[in-house]
Structure formats: structure tokens, C-alpha cells
Amino acid sequence: MYTEKVMEHFRNPRNVGEIKDADGIGMVGNAKCGDIMKIYMKINNGIIDDVKFQTFGCGSAIASSSMATELIKGKSVDEAVELTNKAVVEALGGLPKVKVHCSVLAEQAVKSALYDYAQKNNLVVKGLEDFNPDEDVHEH
């Protein structure tokens, strides 16, 4: 049912925790389904130097959060904003269809943190022009 990569990121998630003086914080989720993700970013000269996450949810949600942080760490803000849920699913070697929404949440959490960073620094980030951090885009 789950790939070995999903199980590895669930059992040994990368970048778990909180960044106290984060430059961008994004929180997304839906209490009805139980998956809630919070992403913290430390950004220096437009590069994501550090990224951490806290996720309350199923194994797929934890694995998706872990993989998303791995995919954007060390990348520029412009590169990170291009992260898609499909890239997270591919990097995990696939997710069951009923769990793909977890990768959507991971993408949205990353974008929410980047949006927060842009708002705090009065920046315009290409790709976030129409982003609404309060919109619940994840479906089951």
C-alpha cells in the first residue's frame, strides 16, 4: 500500500520542529479530516537556509511534509514556490489515491509560509499573486 520511501519519511521524518525566529510561517489543514501542517522557514538573501515542520495527521501527511521540506531546503524562494503536490508524490514514489490530499496540503503549507515571508517583507513573489492562505483547497 505505501512505498518504502513513504514509510521511511514517516518513521524518520526530516526537518521536524519549529524555528523560533522564522521569516515565514505557514499553517494549513482541516480539522474535519485531522491533517494540520505548519511549516517554518528561515530565509537569507532569498534562499531557504532552514525549514522545519510540525504535522498533526496520518503517516502520509507526515511523509509529505518531510519530503516537501527536503525538496525546498537550500532552494531559492522562486524555486520553492514552484513546488507541486505532484513533485512530492513522485519523490515519495507514489501515494494511495485516497492520500494524495496530504501532498496537496504540503504544497499549500509551503506556499503559505512563502506568502507570509513575502507579506512581512513587502515583497511580491511570482506565483503567489493569487494565493489565498485561508482557502481550503484540499479535497478527499
58 in catalytic set? no
For the question of residue 102 being annotated catalytic, the response is yes
| φ, ψ for residue 4, nearest 5 deg | -60, -35
Q: What angle do CA 20, 47, 24 make, to 5 degrees?
A: 35
Contact 67, 87 (CB under 8 A): no
Catalytic residue, candidates 7, 25, 33, 36: 33
CA–CA dist 67, 69 (Å, integer): 5
Q: Please report how many Cα atoms fall inside a 13 Å half-sphere around the Cα of residue 123, on the Cβ side.
A: 18
Distance, in Å, from the CA atom of 114 to the CA atom of 48, rounded to the nearest integer, reads 10
Catalytic residue, chosen from 102, 113, 118, 128, is 102
> How far, in Å, CA of 71 to CA of 14, rounded?
11
Phi–psi pair at 105, nearest 5 degrees: -60, -40
Residues forming the active site: 33, 102
